[in-house]
A and B are shown apart, each in its own frame.
Chain A
Amino acid sequence: MQTFACPNCGADVTFRSPALPARICDYCRTMIVRSGDALTMAGKAAVLPFDVSPIMIGTRGRFEGAAFDVIGRVRWGWTDGSWNEWLLLFGDGTHAWLGEAMGHYMLLREWPLAKVESQLIRRLAAGDRIAVGTSADVEGRQLTIVDARNATCIAAEGELPFTAPKDWTIYSVDLRGADGSAASLQRDGQEANLYVGRYVTLAELAPVGLRRIEGWQVPAYGA
């Protein structure tokens, strides 16, 4: 953990993960990028619109036996709605994303695209547009494209593996398997990233430090 003074407002900004380069100041929303001990400012992040997500920065939980902390979030929007992607930092320094949409959760980890043999994924990564409903074997999972759309970054907070400027637009493809496995391919111009994992329930992550929402009882595991 490293703490610096925000180059814009002087407030303390803490980097919990040594591997992540970007951090949004909790006070002035300046996007701070570090390289070594040098901090640079990369514009301002938009204010997050109000939502009733039960998760917040600081929520802790466990996934398949490994403890994690929620340290960042990107909120994406598209023509018909929006969703959250929460950044989870695990004890071993690795990170994963917890996608939250329509009350469902997906826990995905980045998967090295270079090693993926699936033609479907290779074509998507290369920029092809493939119809929803197309299925393929992806790293031993039978996955079907359920959604493909342009998504725009609405806002972000906390620590991130990249800067997330407002109005940053990517092409996002969601895939799903019969057994609850899931994957997401995100393309930004020439660059693509693949994330693979599965659907999870909040109860299964047994999160603590959930956000308290007025008038609702926090589940026993999340108090």
Chain B
Amino acid sequence: MAPEPLVSAAAEVPAAKALSCPSCGGTLNLKAAGYTVSVACLYCGSVLDVANEDVRLITEYHRQAAELEIPLGTRGRLKGVEWEAIGYVERSEGGTYPWSEYLLFNPYHGYRWLITNGRGWSFGEMLTRTPEAEHGALWLGREDYQPFFKEGRAQVDYVLGEFYWRVRVGEEVRTDDWVRPGFMLSREQNGQEVSWTRSELLAPREIRDAFGVRAPRNPWPPLPHQPSPYVGDMKKLVWIGVGAALFVSLLLILMGTGPVLFRGTLPYALDGTSRTATLGPVTVTRPHQLIAIDAEAPGLENAWVDLDYALVDRKTQASYEAYGLAERYSGRDSDGDWTEGSRSATVKLAAVPAGTYDLVVDYSGQQWSGGSTPNFGIAAPAETLQITISSGAFFPGNALIALIFLLLPLLFFVHRHVKFEQARQDESDVGRTGVAKLFTSSDDD
């Protein structure tokens, strides 16, 4: 029988290497053999150096290991990959703002971090690229990150399990953090090196499904990289508003001038005399419709025409009444030439039932004599009014009211969004920016 070759090409290798703690004698299973440099004993907390074949005791402790929310050795599936928690670090800013970090390992996928401050969980990966600064932000590829925490100092307060570096309680690094919604970019620097970590905020459901731990649903104040929950609603409403506005514009274009039912002319003179004329028949067939009556006086100048309309049903004598005014003035003053008014007048009658109608028009024309304009002398000659009756015209006023109803919830979400952003950014070392700053009143400061 041929001897087994000694090369790495064995069918399957064990996942752990056993060693015993030189301090308490407890058996430790090294999960990342070959990578792990130091181990804090799970039984007595002593820190061991396993960088070389011989296990050396670095710091001896005799204490009960902390009970962890995720016991080391627990496996969980995050982002489609199974991870095992192999190390645990407690860190703080000189004793304040404590947080915890779990070191996750998978031999085929390397290391990740699970970071929590008790209010949320993030999944971090050390970067092999370096972000670049531009326009006050940091760019990682196409992602921009805004500054959040500046010049922090993070110290190691407690360790347990295995690590790929020489871990030491009391070790301090300088930290800076940048955020974009849902993500944080962290820079850590000690005397020798700079490292960058990008972490993604996990949904409470993701961390619960993976490791069975609970995360608060709506932490307040929000986490630095927590996306505002109102952005989605605001966007939706803005899109609905844009859609509605487009629809209304389309309706206006299509229905602004409905089919013409009647066209006629009326003679008028600017003598103040009241005249009456009957136009028709005007036949409408839909159960209810809008009727627009347009009067145009092309030659009108420094004069007005009063128009009293009555749309009278031939059968029932039911009458729909409206009043119109065409007026036009012009002149010259110290500011130059001016004109005012319109030579045409449109009035609308809503919800006119089907039927055959006559339009009775009472009208009178009057020359304007109140001005000091020199460019008129004798009364203008008699002219004609062109009357157009059309149906189906659209009320833009109704659309406006609908838009206002859309705007109210939008304002509500904008308000909530601003409050959220202000609370989130008030935790930062940079202060408020963007909308949070825009809506900051002086008494808020």
Could you list which residues of chain A lie within 8 angstroms of chain B, going by C-beta atoms? 11, 26-27, 29, 47-58, 73, 77, 79-82, 84, 102-104, 132-133, 146-147, 157-158, 176-180, 182, 199, 202, 210-219, 222
Contact = CB atoms under 8 A, between A and B. Distances in A.
B221 to A, nearest CB: 33
Contacts of A218: 108
Which are the 3 A-B pairs with shortest beta-carbon distances? Answer: A51-B34, A103-B110, A26-B5
Nearest to B52: A77
A216 B15 contact: yes
Contact of B108 (A176, A179, A216): A216
Query: Contact residue range for chain B?
Result: 35 or more
Nearest to A58: B9
24 contacts: A49-B53, A50-B17, A50-B33, A52-B15, A53-B107, A56-B9, A77-B52, A80-B37, A80-B51, A81-B35, A81-B51, A84-B34, A104-B128, A132-B193, A157-B6, A176-B130, A177-B130, A178-B129, A179-B129, A211-B9, A211-B10, A212-B12, A213-B13, A222-B108
B166 interface: yes
Contact of A146 (B8, B34, B193): B193
Contact of A178 (B6, B17, B126, B130): B130
B132 to A, nearest CB: 6
Contacts of A217: 82, 108
Chain A contact residues: helix, strand, loop or mixed: loop
B378 interface: no
A84 B31 CA distance: 17
B374 interface: no
A80 B35 CA distance: 10
Contacts of A202: 108-109
Nearest to B82: A217
B96 interface: no
Interface of B: 2-3, 5-15, 17, 31-35, 37, 51-53, 82, 105-111, 126, 128-132, 164-166, 192-194
Contacts of B8: 48, 53, 55-57, 73, 157, 211
B13 A211 contact: yes
Nearest to A84: B34
Nearest to A210: B108
B164 A81 contact: yes
B51 A82 contact: yes
Contacts of B32: 52
B389 to A, nearest CB: 72
Contact of B165 (A51, A81, A132, A210): A81
Nearest to A221: B108
B15 A214 contact: yes
A36 B67 CA distance: 63
A213 B10 CA distance: 10
A140 B52 CA distance: 38
Nearest to A142: B130
A48 to B, nearest CB: 7
Contacts of B7: 26, 56-57, 157-158
A209 B109 CA distance: 16
A55 B35 CA distance: 14
